[in-house]
Amino acid sequence: MTTNRRTFVMAMGAVGLASFFASHATEDEALAAMKAIMGSATPRAGKVTLELPALVENGNLVTIKVSVESPMTQADHVKAVHLIAEGNPLPNIVSFFLGPRAGRAEIGTRIRLANSQRVWAIAQMSDGSFWRGYAETLVTLAACTEVV
Protein backbone atom coordinates (compact mmCIF):
# COMPACT_ATOMS: atom_id res chain seq x y z
CA MET A 1 0.00 0.00 0.00
CA THR A 2 2.80 2.46 0.82
CA THR A 3 4.47 1.78 -2.53
CA ASN A 4 1.31 2.78 -4.39
CA ARG A 5 0.88 5.89 -2.24
CA ARG A 6 4.55 6.81 -2.68
CA THR A 7 4.27 6.29 -6.45
CA PHE A 8 1.11 8.42 -6.55
CA VAL A 9 2.71 11.26 -4.57
CA MET A 10 5.82 11.19 -6.78
CA ALA A 11 3.68 11.22 -9.94
CA MET A 12 1.61 14.18 -8.69
CA GLY A 13 4.82 16.04 -7.82
CA ALA A 14 6.14 15.43 -11.33
CA VAL A 15 2.88 16.67 -12.85
CA GLY A 16 3.02 19.78 -10.67
CA LEU A 17 6.62 20.46 -11.66
CA ALA A 18 5.83 19.91 -15.33
CA SER A 19 2.97 22.40 -15.22
CA PHE A 20 5.17 24.90 -13.34
CA PHE A 21 8.01 24.67 -15.84
CA ALA A 22 5.72 24.54 -18.88
CA SER A 23 3.97 27.80 -18.06
CA HIS A 24 4.79 30.79 -20.22
CA ALA A 25 4.26 34.48 -19.72
CA THR A 26 1.32 35.95 -21.53
CA GLU A 27 1.54 39.01 -23.75
CA ASP A 28 -0.13 40.98 -20.93
CA GLU A 29 2.59 39.87 -18.49
CA ALA A 30 5.27 40.98 -20.95
CA LEU A 31 3.54 44.35 -21.31
CA ALA A 32 3.32 44.63 -17.52
CA ALA A 33 7.07 43.94 -17.28
CA MET A 34 7.72 46.71 -19.81
CA LYS A 35 5.43 49.08 -17.90
CA ALA A 36 7.30 48.30 -14.67
CA ILE A 37 10.51 49.41 -16.38
CA MET A 38 9.14 52.49 -18.16
CA GLY A 39 6.39 53.64 -15.82
CA SER A 40 4.05 55.98 -17.65
CA ALA A 41 6.58 56.81 -20.40
CA THR A 42 5.75 55.79 -23.95
CA PRO A 43 8.61 54.12 -25.81
CA ARG A 44 9.47 55.21 -29.32
CA ALA A 45 10.34 52.81 -32.12
CA GLY A 46 13.83 53.10 -33.55
CA LYS A 47 17.42 53.51 -32.34
CA VAL A 48 17.39 49.92 -30.98
CA THR A 49 18.53 47.03 -33.15
CA LEU A 50 18.31 43.37 -32.11
CA GLU A 51 20.21 40.63 -33.90
CA LEU A 52 18.56 37.31 -33.14
CA PRO A 53 18.61 34.21 -35.36
CA ALA A 54 15.33 33.75 -37.25
CA LEU A 55 15.49 29.99 -36.60
CA VAL A 56 16.94 28.51 -33.42
CA GLU A 57 17.44 24.76 -33.12
CA ASN A 58 17.90 24.76 -29.33
CA GLY A 59 16.33 27.39 -27.06
CA ASN A 60 18.85 26.65 -24.30
CA LEU A 61 21.53 28.70 -26.04
CA VAL A 62 20.43 31.62 -28.21
CA THR A 63 22.90 34.33 -29.15
CA ILE A 64 21.58 37.86 -29.20
CA LYS A 65 23.15 41.21 -29.93
CA VAL A 66 21.59 44.57 -29.07
CA SER A 67 22.87 47.90 -30.29
CA VAL A 68 21.49 51.37 -29.60
CA GLU A 69 22.24 54.47 -31.67
CA SER A 70 23.81 56.91 -29.23
CA PRO A 71 26.89 59.15 -29.17
CA MET A 72 27.57 57.86 -25.62
CA THR A 73 28.65 61.27 -24.33
CA GLN A 74 28.11 62.59 -20.82
CA ALA A 75 25.10 64.61 -22.04
CA ASP A 76 23.59 61.91 -24.30
CA HIS A 77 24.05 58.23 -23.49
CA VAL A 78 22.25 54.95 -22.89
CA LYS A 79 21.60 54.32 -19.20
CA ALA A 80 20.11 50.83 -19.46
CA VAL A 81 19.01 48.14 -21.88
CA HIS A 82 16.32 45.66 -20.78
CA LEU A 83 15.44 42.43 -22.62
CA ILE A 84 11.87 41.12 -22.41
CA ALA A 85 10.76 37.74 -23.84
CA GLU A 86 7.02 37.35 -24.40
CA GLY A 87 7.00 33.55 -24.18
CA ASN A 88 9.38 32.77 -21.30
CA PRO A 89 8.03 31.78 -17.87
CA LEU A 90 9.47 35.06 -16.53
CA PRO A 91 9.43 37.77 -19.22
CA ASN A 92 12.33 39.86 -17.79
CA ILE A 93 15.42 38.19 -19.21
CA VAL A 94 18.17 40.61 -18.22
CA SER A 95 18.99 44.28 -17.69
CA PHE A 96 22.29 45.91 -18.62
CA PHE A 97 23.35 49.24 -17.12
CA LEU A 98 25.65 51.48 -19.15
CA GLY A 99 27.22 54.91 -18.94
CA PRO A 100 29.11 57.29 -21.18
CA ARG A 101 32.39 55.51 -20.46
CA ALA A 102 31.08 52.38 -22.21
CA GLY A 103 32.06 53.95 -25.52
CA ARG A 104 29.42 52.10 -27.57
CA ALA A 105 25.96 50.93 -26.69
CA GLU A 106 26.39 47.35 -27.91
CA ILE A 107 25.69 44.22 -25.93
CA GLY A 108 26.16 40.60 -26.91
CA THR A 109 25.08 37.66 -24.78
CA ARG A 110 23.34 34.30 -24.79
CA ILE A 111 19.84 33.73 -23.49
CA ARG A 112 17.34 30.90 -23.05
CA LEU A 113 14.02 30.98 -24.89
CA ALA A 114 11.12 28.78 -23.89
CA ASN A 115 9.57 28.70 -27.36
CA SER A 116 9.08 30.65 -30.58
CA GLN A 117 8.44 34.25 -29.63
CA ARG A 118 9.17 37.94 -29.91
CA VAL A 119 12.05 39.39 -27.87
CA TRP A 120 11.95 43.11 -27.03
CA ALA A 121 14.81 45.42 -26.12
CA ILE A 122 13.97 48.59 -24.21
CA ALA A 123 16.69 51.26 -24.08
CA GLN A 124 16.54 53.93 -21.39
CA MET A 125 18.38 57.10 -22.40
CA SER A 126 20.04 59.70 -20.16
CA ASP A 127 17.33 62.25 -21.05
CA GLY A 128 14.64 59.94 -19.62
CA SER A 129 13.28 58.78 -22.98
CA PHE A 130 12.73 55.13 -23.87
CA TRP A 131 13.32 53.48 -27.23
CA ARG A 132 12.39 49.95 -28.24
CA GLY A 133 13.04 47.36 -30.87
CA TYR A 134 12.21 43.70 -31.27
CA ALA A 135 13.08 40.53 -33.16
CA GLU A 136 11.13 37.33 -33.64
CA THR A 137 12.53 33.83 -33.68
CA LEU A 138 11.29 30.29 -34.29
CA VAL A 139 12.58 27.82 -31.68
CA THR A 140 12.47 24.12 -32.64
CA LEU A 141 13.63 22.66 -29.28
CA ALA A 142 12.24 24.71 -26.41
CA ALA A 143 14.18 25.62 -23.27
CA CYS A 144 12.79 26.38 -19.80
CA THR A 145 10.41 23.41 -20.01
CA GLU A 146 12.54 20.36 -19.22
CA VAL A 147 11.57 18.23 -16.24
CA VAL A 148 14.39 16.14 -14.82
Domains of the chain, residue spans: 24-141
Widest CA span in the chain: 73
- What pLDDT does residue 19 have? 39
- What pLDDT does residue 43 have? 95
106/65 Cα distance (integer angstroms): 7
Query: What pTM does this model have?
Result: 0.79
- On the question of pLDDT at 148 being above 60, the answer is no
The CATH class of the 24-141 domain is mainly beta
Structural contact between residues 88 and 144, judged by C-beta atoms closer than 8 angstroms: yes
- What pLDDT does residue 143 have? 77
| pLDDT tens string 26-83 | 778 888 999 999 999 999 999 999 999 999 999 999 999 999 999 999 999 999 999 9
What are the residues whose beta carbons fall under 8 Å from the beta carbon of 124, sequence distance 6 or more? 37, 38, 78, 79, 80, 81, 82, 130
Rounded to an integer, the average pLDDT of 82-106 is 94
Rounded to an integer, the average pLDDT of 11-39 is 68
> How high does pLDDT run on average in the chain?
85
